[in-house]
């Protein structure tokens, strides 16, 4: 089946007993045994496994072309489990423009535990030569959050293998609809399923999908999932599966709107820079065109003339676009990223825009009006 069809039908086979075309929700905490104390199926206790979570992990494995997947209660829980699957004394090479939460997990939580981290400009291949020997895991984001930088995953995977390191990729912005890191040589791909995979802003979740080269690390990650217990509920797993069924059609609308908004912002007199890999002016456009498909994503960021205060005025003047911290929902969201980060190097005049699926003219009219008002003396 072609991708759009496969996404719709990936978990929607009619139930063999009832004929139901929508999967049932199984909220049970525990599962009964028979008189011989044998389990009738494979499930013992919801923290360990659940029919809805198993189904979600199976679908994510299929979509990413992986070997196995583990679902978590949040993207940060999934990310922490990846790093905890390493050992004290190991070194992670992380993209220097990573999500601020990634930096905080590595520096504030895991550095005292003994995990070493070096931050490097992974979107610049010449910077890879600066990496010390003995790197255990290279962690990339592409497109990155919030500057939308693009890393050449295929080239980086060759480098990682030559250095004896694993390559992990945060694929939240792209989703498997737009980019498949495992096909490009990565060993792990992470998603905050909160965002585009669920797509409706009504749950929090995360997941890690592993390729064949990460089997040992994934075995430890699975133990962390089961014993630490940061797992999604049956209902959240079911909601994520429901969201995945419309991923293709939603991403088409997100990408089309984001591309149009990026073009218009690039020529706006109040805007000093636009960061979106779909623009030919973007320094990573050629690489993104090669390793992404169907579009360049629904997130862009832009900087405004006048600095931080001008950016704040733009936010304040928006009426349709919501001021909120997240992305991937149906509605358009804006975030003055630097004002909520406790770490990171985001420019103070930068606004991150998660472009929704509303009529693009309505989105633009709101942005244009806010920019014009902010530019007035």
Q: Which residues are catalytic?
A: 47, 99, 170, 195
CA 305 vs CA 267, 274, 309, 313, 370: distances in Å: 13, 12, 10, 11, 13
Q: What is the dihedral of CA 274, 276, 278, 280, to 10 degrees?
A: 40
CA distance 313 to 310: 5
Extract the tokens encoding 34. Answer: 């028979």
CA distance 177 to 248: 7
| 48 within 8 A of 226, measured Cβ to Cβ | yes
What are 3-9's contacts with CB under 8 Å, separation 24+? 3/177, 3/248, 4/248, 4/249, 6/62, 6/63, 7/63, 7/177, 7/244, 7/245, 7/247, 7/248, 8/245, 8/248
CA distance 277 to 259: 9
| 139 within 8 A of 172, measured Cβ to Cβ | no
CA distance 190 to 78: 7
Please tell me what DSSP assigns to residue 17: T
Question: Helices 360-375 and 247-266 sit at what angle, rounded to 10 degrees?
Answer: 30
Largest Cα–Cα separation, the chain: 80
| 142 within 8 A of 169, measured Cβ to Cβ | yes
CA 106 vs CA 89, 93, 117, 252, 262: distances in Å: 13, 10, 7, 34, 32
């Amino acid at each position: 089946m072609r991708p759009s069809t496969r996404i719709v039908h990936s978990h929607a086979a009619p139930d063999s007993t009832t004929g139901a075309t929508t999967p049932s929700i199984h909220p049970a905490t525990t599962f009964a045994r028979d008189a011989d104390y044998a389990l009738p199926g494979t499930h013992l206790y919801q923290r360990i496994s659940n029919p809805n979570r198993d189904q979600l992990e199976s679908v994510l494995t299929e979509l990413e072309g992986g070997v196995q997947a583990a679902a978590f209660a949040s993207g940060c829980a999934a990310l922490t489990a990846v790093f905890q699957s390493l050992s004290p004394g190991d070194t992670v090479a992380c993209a220097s423009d990573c999500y601020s939460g990634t930096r905080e997990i590595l520096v504030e939580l895991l550095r005292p535990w003994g995990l070493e981290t070096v931050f490097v400009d992974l979107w610049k291949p010449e910077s890879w030569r600066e990496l010390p020997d003995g790197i255990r895991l290279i962690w990339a984001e592409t497109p990155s959050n919030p500057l939308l930088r693009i890393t050449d995953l295929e080239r980086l995977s060759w480098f990682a293998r030559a250095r004896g390191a694993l390559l992990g990729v945060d694929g939240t912005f792209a989703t498997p609809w737009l980019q498949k890191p495992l096909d490009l040589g990565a060993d792990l791909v992470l998603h905050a399923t909160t965002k585009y995979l669920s797509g409706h802003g009504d749950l929090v979740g995360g997941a890690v999908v592993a390729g064949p080269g990460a089997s040992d690390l994934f075995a430890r990650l699975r133990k962390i999932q089961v014993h630490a217990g940061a797992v999604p509920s049956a209902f959240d797993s079911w909601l994520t599966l429901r969201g995945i069924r419309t991923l293709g059609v939603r991403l088409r609308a997100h990408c089309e709107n984001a591309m149009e908004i990026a073009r218009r912002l690039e020529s706006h007199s109040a805007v000093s820079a636009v960061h979106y890999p779909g623009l030919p002016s973007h320094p990573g456009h050629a690489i993104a065109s090669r390793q992404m498909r169907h579009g360049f994503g629904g997130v862009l960021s832009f900087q405004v003339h006048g600095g931080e205060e001008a950016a704040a005025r733009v936010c304040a003047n928006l009426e349709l676009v919501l001021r909120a911290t997240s992305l991937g929902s149906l509605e358009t969201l804006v975030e003055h990223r630097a004002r909520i980060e406790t770490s990171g190097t985001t420019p103070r005049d930068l606004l991150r825009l998660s472009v929704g699926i509303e009529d693009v003219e309505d989105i633009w009219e709101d942005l244009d009006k806010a920019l014009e008002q902010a530019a007035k003396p």
